[in-house]
Amino acid sequence: MVAFIISQLAGLTRRILVARAFGASSELDAFIAANRVSETLFNLIAGGALGSAFIPAFTSLLARRERNSAWSLASAITNLVFLVLSFLGIVAFIFAPAIVKYALAPGLANDPHLFALTISLLRIQLVSAVLFGLSGLVMGILNSHQVFLIPALTPAMYQIGMIFGVLVLTPSMGIFGLAWGVVIGASLHLLLQVPSLLKQKGSFSWTLGVKDPNVSEVIRLMLPRLLGVAVVQLNFWVNSWLATQMSPGSLVGIDYGFSLMLMAQVVIAQSLATALLPTLSMHYALDQMEQFRNSLSAAIRGVLFLSLPAALGLIILRHPIISLLYQRGSFTTHSTDLVAWALMWYAAGLVGHSLLEVLARSFYSLHDTRTPVMVGIGAMVLNVILSFAFSNIFTKLGWMPHGGLALANSTATTLEAITLLILMNIRLKGLPKKDLLKGIFQAAGAGLLMVFSLMGWLAISIGNRNWIVAAGGLLTGFFAYLIGMWILQVSELKLIATWIGARIRK
């Protein structure tokens, strides 16, 4: 979690620098749209293999002490990912004009300059998909060996590459410097993990694993997940397709708003879920289902206690936070309004996003990719439908329509998380319902105290500088929620206090 915080702070620094340099401009819209292609390729292939299929299979082989088979599997999947991503990258390079015009950003295609710019930026960034694919699998290998710190720091290296691009390359290359920063960051993302990988002393081979049953099992588990990821990415493409046809800067608004929500989600949920997946996979491989239930229940409670106050804080303090972080240089008050509007609706789904991270991985650890994928497909189809519906409703109400895209995402994701929780409860023949319900009521009670405290703070801090309002609000909300948890006697708070006390005494 500490490593993820460092990475998110690096990402925040990068977004601040990019906002200062480009604001909420059409040029930055073009960059964000172009980046969507390489991001999609990575998520389709490496993301699908890593998150749902490779780690459970690789961990199971290690748990059964079948080390040679495990490394043969890792070699085959690495080679396959490299070949597939390289082929898809070449195809995307050739057909880039059609991709931009018909599938990605038709609004930008109406301007010849922006159209040509988006195509060029897309082609530059394609190599990063291959680098991220390889790095993602290395991350899976290290996580399976219970190595989490270095892999968790790799996103910071990616952000450092982009920071180099915006500070060093952009002054002479413009927005192209940011695109090359993506490539540099992807290279650092992979290189940081190489020393830790070498320490595992694995045996790499140039096999494709054509006759390896473990490779077949990973592919079998990956295919449903691949379909699910494709539907998720389709939703991002639909958002880009719609946002580029709205007022200039709308795509920047939803991208920056989603990124701020994602910062909290990564620190809270992805850090926990990343550490949880190998543990749950080991419990399942060794038929330790009671331990499985206990670990999952504790993770869900932890996510609830952390994500709810984060969501409330982002909603209530959205304007002072965004003004403090971004409003300088080319990033105007209008830019702040665009991002704040999207952030409010995205933050409403933070709890759902966070729960989804844990619940989806719990199914993957059971070697079940079908269930979360089918639920995810339904949720993302709903997301696409709601994106059109809500953006039209927002327009008729006189509201900025890109907020409807954010609300659609939050609604669909929350329903997806609730559905997976119900299905997991059935699958495990019961989760500790009493503990989970108690956790929900405790988090809600502490959250209510936090809301009243923040509203009071905003009322008395009118006219103060943004940094005072934001910093004071964060401190007020933190201590109000902490007091609420203490009053409601949350057991996790007592455990943390005991652990800190023991470390201090030690």
pLDDT tens-place string over residues 171-196: 999 999 999 999 999 999 999 999 99
Residue 6 lies in a domain: no
pLDDT of residue 436: 84
Residue 117 lies in a domain: yes
Burial class (CB in 10 A: 0-12, 13-18, 19+), 98: exposed
Whose tokens are 């940011």? That residue is 178
Q: Closest Cα partner for 136 from 220, 45, 5, 12?
A: 45
pLDDT of residue 48: 54
Distance CA 251, CA 28 (A): 9
Residue 487 lies in a domain: no
Q: Which two tokens stand for residue 94?
A: 């050739």
Residue 367 — left, alpha, or beta (φ > 0 → left; ψ -120 to 50 → alpha)? left
Q: Which two tokens stand for residue 309?
A: 């106050």
Distance CA 43, CA 399 (A): 32
Residue 347 lies in a domain: no
Which residues are CB-neighbours of 166 under 8 A, at least 6 positions away? 14, 17, 18, 21, 177, 178, 181
Residue-wise DSSP of 185-223? HHHHHHHTTHHHHHHTT--------TT-HHHHHHHHHHH
Q: Closest Cα partner for 139 from 4, 41, 230?
A: 4
**Would you give the DSSP letter of residue 145?**
T
Low-confidence stretches of the chain (pLDDT < 70) are 45-52, 225
* Structural domain containing residue 171: 26-220
Distance CA 125, CA 39 (A): 9
Residue 377 lies in a domain: no
Which residues are CB-neighbours of 112 under 8 A, at least 6 positions away? none
How many separate domains does the chain show? 1
